[in-house]
Amino acid sequence: MHPGRWPLLSVTAVWATMASAAPQPPLAGPDLSLEVVTAERSSEKAKTDRPSPSGAALVLNSLSEQERSKLAESLHSLAAATARKRNPFYVAIDDTEEQAAAQKLFAETAPAFTAAAALSRGRWLSAEGDLAVRVVKTCSPGSRCMPLFSQGPGDGIEQRIRFLAWPVGYAVILRAAGNDADHVASVLRAGPASSQIALVLTSTELHSLRKSPALSSVLKSAAHLAKKLPGSPLVETLESIGRAASARDEVPWLKLPRDTVLVVPRLGALATSNRFVDEIDSRLQAARAQVEWLSSPRKPTASPGDRKDKPTFLHAVSRQPA
Amino acid sequence: MAGSGGGGGSAAGGSGSAGTGGAGPAPGCDTDLTGTWDLIATRAYKSPSSGTLVIGADALTVTINHGSTSGFGFDRLAYSTQGSRTLSWQRTPNPAIPIDVQNTPAALDAGSFPLVLGGSWVFSANMWRFSVSVGATASSLIVDRLSTGTLVGGTWPDRIPRPRLGETYSVSRLTPLASQFGVFGGQWQAVNDKDDETCSIRVENDMVQFDCQTGNAFNGITQLTVGSDCVASGSTINSGWELSARRR
C-alpha cells in the first residue's frame, strides 16, 4: 500500500475515523507563501469588491466534447433565431423561438457559470463581511483553519465556513487510480444532464483551457452571437466565452494534487448533497472507475473514503474567532 | 378587521431577533425553521450575492446584498408584528417603502414555517394593492391598482415575480400530502381568472415544487428543498435562478 493512502475497500471504518479525528494542519512550510488577511483588511477589501474572472474557461473545460458540440449548436440556434427576427420580411408572431433557444442555453450553462464564477472568486465573505474564507497553502497563526479536504460536515462554525465557500466547501475531490483523471472526469460528464453537478474539472483543467475540435466552434459562435444580442443579459457571458482561449488562469490559488478531479455541485443543490455524492458514486461504479475520495461533503452510500496527508486548507478570518 | 395597518415603518436592521429566545440547541429544521440564515443567491450568469434571512413567529427579514457584502447596498423586505405591524421594501440607496398591512388572522398550521400566515391580508403601497386569503385548502390573491401616478421611492421588488394587475389568482388543494409545512402539504393548482397562467404546486415532505406557465420569472419549474441539516436550496430551471441558505 502506498504510504499515506487508505485501502480502497476499508469503507465505513475509514470514514468514521476521519470524521471523528481531524488531522492537525501544518502551520508553515519552507516552500509555501503565506498571505495574512486581518479582519480589518478583510472589511476594506469588501468595500472594493474586486471583479472576479468569469469562469468561462472552467465551464468550457467542464464540458465533454459532445457537450461542447451541443453548446455550439445552441449558440448557432439562438443566432439563427435572432437573425430571422431582424429580417424585415420575417413576421414574428411572438418571441417563442428565440426564447426557447435562450432558455435552452440557460438550462445548459447557467448553473455551471454560477459555480465557476463563485469558484474563481477565490475568497468568500459572509453577508455582513465579518467572515472571509479563502484557500491557502498555509494558515496564518491565530486564524481558524480547517482542512479543505473534508470527510464530513464538521462542527457548526466549520459547516458555516464550508457553506460560505461552497464551490470548494461542498465539492467532491477524487484521486483517480492509475493516473487517469481524464477518464474519471469523462465518466462523470457522461450520461444525462445532472441536476446536482455543476462542474467536473481535472487538476490540469483548472488552470488551462483544454483544446478540442468543438472548442473553436464554441468560441467562434459565442463571439459572433455576442455582437448580435446587444443589451441581452447573455452578452457578457458570450463575450467571456469568446475570450476564453486567451483567458489567464482563473484559479491560480487552487493547486490540487496531480490526477485529482474536482466536482462542484450546483448552488441550488447544496441541500441535497447526499444526492450529489451518490450521483457521483453511481456514475463511477457504473463505469467501474477506481478512485480515492479525498474530500466529500457527505459519506457516499457505497464507496470507500480516504484523505490526503498534506491538505490545502480553508482559511477563515473572523473578527470573533469561534 | 382585527389587525391594523402598519405602514410608515422603516426596515429594521439586517438581522435581529427571530423570536428564537432562550438557550439550548435550535430545533431541527424539519420542525421549526426559526432562526438566522445565511443566503447565497444568483441569477443566470451573475455572480452570486450574499444575504440573510431572519425568520420567526413574529418577524421576517430577507436581505440580499448587491455585492458580496452589505457594504455594496442591499434589497430588503422586512416584516414584523413586534409592537405595531410593519412591512417595508427597500432597495438602497432608496429609502424604505412602507407597505400597509391589514390582517384578519385565522388559525393555520404551517408546520415548520414559523410565521403566522393564516387569514385575510391586504397589502397596500404606492399604487398597488394585494388582497390575499390564506387557508388550509384554498388561497387566493387579488391584484389591483389603487390609483394612477408615479411610484414613490422605487418599484415592485424585481427579485419577486410580479403578479398581473387586475387579476385574481386562485389556489386550491387537490390532494393532501405529508409535509413539514403542515396544511400546505399537498398537490395544489393555481390559476388566474383569465385562465392563461397556471401553476401546479407540490408540497411534500421537505420539498416544494412549482411547475408554472406564466409570463414572469415563475415560468418553468422552481424547486426548493429544506434539508434536515438546515441547508435549504433550490432553483428555477428556466430563468437560471439558484439559491441556497443555511441556518446559523
By three-state DSSP, how is residue A131 classified? strand
Question: Nearest C-alpha of chain A: how many angstroms from B240?
Answer: 6
Place of cell 420575417: A90
Question: In the prediction, which pLDDT does B9 show?
Answer: 32
Q: For A1-5, A49-53, B171-175, B221-225, which range has the lowest pLDDT when averaged over its residues?
A: A1-5
On the question of pLDDT at B201 being above 70, the answer is: yes
Question: Nearest C-alpha of chain A: how many angstroms from B52?
Answer: 7
Query: Alpha-carbon dihedral of residues B29, B32, B36, B40, nearest 10 degrees?
Result: 40
On the question of pLDDT at B108 being above 70, the answer is: yes
What the block records as the C-alpha cell of B159 is 427579485
Give the whole-angstrom CA distance, residue B216 versus residue A263: 33
What the block records as the C-alpha cell of A161 is 465556513
pLDDT tens readout for residues B86-97: 999 898 998 888
What is the dihedral sign for C-alpha A316, B231, B116, B4?
positive
Question: Nearest C-alpha of chain B: how many angstroms from A167?
Answer: 11
Percent of chain A with pLDDT over 70: 70
pLDDT tens readout for residues A75-89: 888 888 777 766 555
AA letter at A108: E
Contact A107 B45 (CB under 8 A): no
For the segment B134-147, the average pLDDT, to the nearest whole number, is 72
On the question of pLDDT at A306 being above 50, the answer is: no
Under 8 Å CB pairs connecting chains A and B tally to 130
On the question of pLDDT at B48 being above 50, the answer is: yes
Percent helix, strand, coil in chain A, to 5, is 45, 15, 40
Which residues in chain B touch residue A272, judged by CB atoms under 8 angstroms apart?
225, 227, 233
- Of A10 and A143, the structure prediction assigns the larger pLDDT to A143
For the segment B87-113, the average pLDDT, to the nearest whole number, is 90
Question: In the prediction, which pLDDT does A29 show?
Answer: 28
On the question of pLDDT at A308 being above 60, the answer is: no
Question: In which band, very low, low, confident or very high, does the pLDDT at A177 lie, cut at 50, 70 and 90?
Answer: confident
- Three-state secondary structure along A246-308? HCCCCCCCCCCCCCEEEEEECHHHHHHHHHHHHHHHHHHHHCCCCEEEEECCCCCCCCCCCCC
Identify which of A46, A106, A166 has the shortest CB distance to residue B44: A106
On the question of pLDDT at A201 being above 70, the answer is: yes
Highest mean pLDDT among A17-21, A38-42, A302-306, B176-180: B176-180
Q: To which H or E segment does residue A167 belong?
A: helix A166-169
Q: Give the DSSP letter of residue A76.
A: H
Question: In the prediction, which pLDDT does A92 show?
Answer: 52
Question: In the prediction, which pLDDT does A25 show?
Answer: 37
Give the whole-angstrom CA distance, residue B190 versus residue A137: 53
CB A314 within 8 A of CB A165: yes
pLDDT tens readout for residues B21-31: 445 667 899 99
For the segment A107-130, the average pLDDT, to the nearest whole number, is 87
Q: Least CA distance to B53: which residue of chain A? A: A127
Question: In the prediction, which pLDDT does A88 show?
Answer: 55
Contact B243 A159 (CB under 8 A): no
Question: Nearest C-alpha of chain B: how many angstroms from A265?
Answer: 12
Percent of chain B with pLDDT over 90: 41
Question: In the prediction, which pLDDT does A263 show?
Answer: 98
User: E strands along chain A, which residues?
Assistant: 123-125, 131-136, 144-147, 172-176, 197-202, 260-265, 291-295, 313-318
Contact A271 B235 (CB under 8 A): no
What the block records as the C-alpha cell of A121 is 472568486
Average pLDDT taken over every residue of chain A:
76
CA B221 to chain centre: 17
Question: In which band, very low, low, confident or very high, does the pLDDT at B111 lie, cut at 50, 70 and 90?
Answer: very high
Question: In the prediction, which pLDDT does A271 show?
Answer: 96
For the segment A141-168, the average pLDDT, to the nearest whole number, is 83
Q: Report which of A217, A220, A190, A240 is spatially closest to residue A69, judged by C-alpha positions.
A: A217
Question: Nearest C-alpha of chain A: how many angstroms from B49?
Answer: 8
Question: In the prediction, which pLDDT does A126 show?
Answer: 87
Question: In the prediction, which pLDDT does A87 show?
Answer: 58
Burial class (CB in 10 A: 0-12, 13-18, 19+), A294: buried
Q: For A62-76, B23-37, B161-175, which range has the lowest pLDDT when averaged over its residues?
A: B161-175
Task: State if pTM tops 0.90.
Answer: no
Contact B69 A128 (CB under 8 A): yes
Average pLDDT taken over every residue of chain B:
80
Identify which of B45, B71, B232 has the shortest CB distance to residue A110: B45
Which residues in chain B touch residue A117, judged by CB atoms under 8 angstroms apart?
46-48
Question: In the prediction, which pLDDT does B153 show?
Answer: 42
Which residues in chain B touch residue A266, judged by CB atoms under 8 angstroms apart?
235, 242
Question: In the prediction, which pLDDT does A2 show?
Answer: 40
Q: Least CA distance to A198: which residue of chain B? A: B242
Q: Report which of A302, A309, A310 is spatially closest to residue A9, judged by C-alpha positions.
A: A302
For the segment B29-42, the average pLDDT, to the nearest whole number, is 95
Q: Least CA distance to B222: which residue of chain A? A: A268
Question: In which band, very low, low, confident or very high, does the pLDDT at A28 lie, cut at 50, 70 and 90?
Answer: very low
Give the whole-angstrom CA distance, residue B135 versus residue B106: 8
Give the whole-angstrom CA distance, residue B25 versus residue B80: 24
Question: In the prediction, which pLDDT does B3 show?
Answer: 37
Contact A270 B238 (CB under 8 A): no
Highest mean pLDDT among A227-241, B83-97, B146-160: B83-97
Question: Nearest C-alpha of chain A: how many angstroms from B238?
Answer: 6
On the question of pLDDT at B2 being above 60, the answer is: no
Question: In which band, very low, low, confident or very high, does the pLDDT at A95 lie, cut at 50, 70 and 90?
Answer: low
Identify which of A49, A106, A166 has the shortest CB distance to residue B239: A106
Question: In the prediction, which pLDDT does A86 show?
Answer: 61
Which residues in chain B touch residue A164, judged by CB atoms under 8 angstroms apart?
38, 40, 50
Contact B44 A113 (CB under 8 A): yes
Identify which of A46, A52, A233 has the shortest CB distance to residue B44: A233
Q: Report which of B150, B10, B5 is spatially closest to residue B90, judged by C-alpha positions.
A: B10
Identify which of A47, A106, A268 has the shortest CB distance to residue B238: A106
pLDDT tens readout for residues A243-265: 998 888 999 999 988 899 999 99
Question: Nearest C-alpha of chain A: how many angstroms from B74?
Answer: 10
Q: What ranges do the domains of chain A cover? A: 11-19+53-318
Question: In the prediction, which pLDDT does B5 show?
Answer: 38
Could you give the ipTM of this predicted complex?
Answer: 0.83
Identify which of A106, A118, A124 has the shortest CB distance to residue B240: A106
